[in-house]
Amino acid sequence: MGQNLNVNVKKILIMGAGQLGLAVLNALHADVALLNGDITVLVSPASLNTDKTPTNPTLRILAEQGVKFTALDLAAIDHNSLVAFFAKFNTVVSCTGFVAGPGTQIKITRAVLEANVARYFPWQFGVDYDVVGKGSGQPVFDEQYEVRTMLRQQVTTEWVIVSTGMFTSFLFEPAFDVVNLEQGYINALGSWGNKLTVTAPEDIGQLTATIMLATPRIINEVVFVAGDTISYAELAKIVDNVSSMRIKRNLLPVDWLHRQLAKKPEDQMLRYRAAFALGEGMWWDIEKTFNYKNAIETQNTTQWLATHLR
DSSP β-ladder status, 91-94 and 12-15: parallel
Ordered per-residue pLDDT tens for the chain, 310 residues: 344 556 677 899 999 999 999 999 999 999 998 989 999 999 999 999 988 889 999 999 999 999 999 999 998 999 999 999 999 999 999 999 877 678 999 999 999 999 999 999 999 999 999 999 887 778 888 999 999 999 999 999 999 999 999 999 999 999 999 999 999 999 999 999 999 999 999 999 999 999 999 999 999 999 999 999 999 999 999 999 999 989 999 999 999 999 999 999 889 899 889 999 989 999 999 999 999 999 999 999 999 999 998 7
Question: Strand (E) positions, 131-203?
Answer: 158-163, 166-167, 179-180, 185-189, 195-199
Is there a domain that residue 109 lies in?
Answer: yes
**Cβ neighbours of residue 126 closer than 8 Å, sequence gap 6 or more:** 144, 163, 164, 165, 166
CB 298 within 8 A of CB 227: yes
Report whether the peptide linkage leading into residue 174 is cis, meaning its omega lies within 30 degrees of zero. no
d(CA 254, CA 274): 6
Amino acid (one-letter) located at 280 = E
Is there a domain that residue 25 lies in?
Answer: yes
Please tell me the total count of domains within the chain. 1
In this structure, what CATH number is given to the domain that contains residue 13? 3.40.50.720
Beta-bridged to residue 231, according to DSSP, are 195
pTM, rounded to two decimals:
0.94
Is there a domain that residue 112 lies in?
Answer: yes
Is there a domain that residue 231 lies in?
Answer: no
d(CA 225, CA 198): 9
* Closest of 156, 290, 107 to residue 210, by C-alpha: 290
Burial profile 258-293: b = 16 or more Cβ within 10 angstroms, e = fewer: eeebeeeeeeeebbbbbbbbbbebbbbebeebbbee
Is there a domain that residue 144 lies in?
Answer: yes
* Closest of 126, 106, 172 to residue 276, by C-alpha: 126
* Residues spanned by the domain of 220: 3-165+198-226+283-298
Is there a domain that residue 307 lies in?
Answer: no
